[in-house]
Amino acid sequence: MDSKLFATAIIRFLAGVLLTGLLLFLPAGSFSFWQAWLLMGILFLPMFFAGLVMMKRNPELLRKRLNVKEEQSEQKTVVALSGLMFLASFLVAGFNFRFRWIVLPDWVSWAAAGVFLLGYALYAEVLRENTYLSRTIEVQENQKVIDTGLYGIVRHPMYMTTLLIFLAMPLVLGSILSFAIELLYIPILRKRIRNEEQVLEEGLEGYAEYKQKVRYQVIPFLW
């Protein structure tokens, strides 16, 4: 086992748990914000076990997923905007719980949790299908076009899964106001995909032909 990679993964994981907890419970002013506990459970428990599986079976993929340093200036802007979106969404969800601005029925949180877990399952399938996946925009050595499975339906199934997950999260938290904020992910995602496809078309052999074969980017028949 790569002890350095393991330590990095554990530190990142614990930092994510701590930061998410602070962003949710501090504005809520209470640990009785049960929707926050629900979100943290369905978010971090699968993440922890998925990390262990990648550490054992494909540590190189885990290393790629931990790399968040973008080289392209346009993508740095996208990452910054996404961070601000999450920050605002979580804070508003906490304040919504504290001040009871708009209270959604409990079943909304549970239904959204089901959608979230569906997105997570699809996310795992994408990781299985494409071992070249990185969190940064790049063309890797010996990378090939993947056109089977979910990649035969949309060109960016990873973004399809993150769209499900990100839009489900504020509803798990019971906040329609946070959901409105998370809708900003759609134009942010469009910007990221536009730049990513330009990079792939210029640097990945066969990607231009793949674009002709698979028409939709994120959502079949819509986008």
- What SS3 state is found at 79? helix
Q: What is the mean pLDDT of the chain?
A: 88
**pLDDT (tens digit per residue) in 152-174:** 999 999 999 999 999 999 999 99
The first and second tokens of residue 98, run together, are 């504290």
Q: Which residue has the higher pLDDT, 47 or 111?
A: 111
- Report whether pLDDT(62) > 60: yes
Identify the pLDDT of residue 81: 87
**pLDDT (tens digit per residue) in 188-216:** 999 889 888 888 888 888 888 889 999 99
- Report whether pLDDT(7) > 70: yes
The first and second tokens of residue 68, run together, are 């968040």
Q: Which domains does the chain have, with CATH numbers?
A: 3-213 (1.20.120.1630)
Closest Cα partner for 138 from 63, 75, 189? 75
Identify the pLDDT of residue 20: 96
- Report whether pLDDT(67) > 90: no
Give Cα separations from 197 to 15, 135, 183 (angstroms).
32, 14, 22
Percent of the chain with pLDDT over 70: 89
- Report whether pLDDT(65) > 80: no
Closest Cα partner for 116 from 165, 179, 80, 170? 165
Q: What number of helices (H) and strands (E) belong to the chain? A: 9, 0
133 and 170 in contact (C-beta within 8 Å)?
no
Identify the pLDDT of residue 176: 98
Q: Cα 217 to the chain's mean position, in Å?
A: 16
